[in-house]
Amino acid sequence: MNVLVYPSTHAFAPSLVQTLTSTLTPHYLPQSLAPSLLSVQEYPWHTSCALLILLAQPTDHEAVRKYLEFGGKILALGVGVRKGGLFGLHTSSHDLGSLFTGLGSDMVKDTSILRIPDGTASLYISFSTVAGTNADVLIDSTTVSVPRLPSSSLDLDASDEHVLGRYVEGNAPAGVLSQSGLVAMWNCALPLPDILLSRALSALGLRFSVQKADPGPQLCILPQFLLARPDSWHVQHRVVQALLSYLRPGSAIHVDGDLHNESQHNREPFVFEDANDIFHFLFPSFPSAEKITDLSSHPILELTPRHPPEFENEKVKHVLVMPKPLASEDENIYTPKFSPSAFFRAIHEFRAGAESTSQGASQDSWRIGDAIMYGEVVSSTQSMFDKCVSSDQVR
């Protein structure tokens, strides 16, 4: 899931994305959101957004409200907030009448204030562009210096459990969580201290990394399998051959004979590096189930070297080139959330129906779905799109 910082044009957006990346990795992918993409139907950002962070007034208020309706969460920074009725800051019929008097049917909407429903009421959020004055915020027993917005306040009757922090002077709320628990707001000007940011992320229910005296085992991306259709296993060899031919010209890999013979895979590991990642290709053998000793970790780690130093490098991705297709018992152990055999079987059944009226492809051809790289977790679909070449680069 993504954590989006809006707008991307804000002066503090790049530094905030960088802070969020170090705080939220590997659970979320922080990115900036351009104003032009907020209401574009072809870019449904809300479908994969765990949190929308607003640094300025959004250009499309309805898009933000719809995001909340679908269970989205918002963190608004550098704001003043008032609470009112669903249709305005004045809830009585007399006040509503006086508010709309003279405006007629062509009443102009006030786009300088963002209205967000919160239960049976609404939050009216305004973003400030003025510089803050020095103030102290008390969080639990910690005092933090912040730039306080002088002309804005969080005018809410928030209970203590919804107050994220209070100003030392006057005991006024500096940060609050809405009654619905979906919106967090800080009255402080940017940049926001890390402790205040972490308090809001925690209140909104996000998972994030916390520095500890003993960090324990380092988180790492699980190795991926390079697999091919069982009846087209030579495709896996062709992938490896193409990579090795690029790295080591003249190092051909022969695929004649028994393609399921494990002896063909007794090769040395190699490294392939691109602009974003460093891929370590390994050629493991399956240990028997009784030889899997460390039950506290994922069984796939039994196929990799013990605690290699490259595991500490975030750019390193391990790829396991298996000697033969995964049997059902192998799938139960190493890919419990996905069945490669079922995937390839579905591909075969689809093609059988599609090719019944066509000539079909030759056995030497390589088609989409003949080979896959499978990993158990992908942080964000958008991260895969970001690493794809653009259409103008494809010839």
H-run or E-run covering 310: none
Could you tell me if 255 and 320 lie in one domain?
A: yes
Could you tell me if 229 and 332 lie in one domain?
A: yes
* Cβ-based neighbours of 95, under 8 Å, separated by 6 or more: 88
Residue 333 lies in a domain: yes
Mean pLDDT estimate for the chain: 77
pLDDT of residue 50: 93
Could you tell me if 163 and 231 lie in one domain?
A: no
pLDDT digits (tens, 9 = 90+) for 277-334: 888 898 987 765 555 555 556 777 777 776 555 556 677 888 999 888 988 888 888 8
For range 154-175, the mean pLDDT: 83
Judged against a pLDDT cut of 90, whether residue 369 lies above it is answered with: no
Task: Provide the pLDDT confidence category of residue 394 given band limits of 50, 70 and 90.
Answer: very low
Bridge partners of 143, per DSSP, are: 138
* Cβ-based neighbours of 240, under 8 Å, separated by 6 or more: 226, 253, 281, 321
pTM above 0.75, yes or no: no
Judged against a pLDDT cut of 90, whether residue 86 lies above it is answered with: no
Q: Which of 137, 172, 203 is the last residue of a domain?
A: 203
Residue 232's φ and ψ, nearest 5 degrees, are -135, 40
Q: For the chain, what is the domain count?
A: 2
CATH number of the domain bearing residue 61: 3.40.50
Could you list the residue range(s) of the whole structural domain that residue 242 is in?
A: 224-356+366-376
For range 32-58, the mean pLDDT: 90
Could you tell me if 284 and 194 lie in one domain?
A: no
CA–CA separation, 218 vs 182, rounded Å?
Answer: 31
Task: Provide the pLDDT confidence category of residue 141 given band limits of 50, 70 and 90.
Answer: confident
Residue 394 lies in a domain: no
Could you tell me if 241 and 370 lie in one domain?
A: yes
pLDDT digits (tens, 9 = 90+) for 267-284: 788 888 887 788 889 898
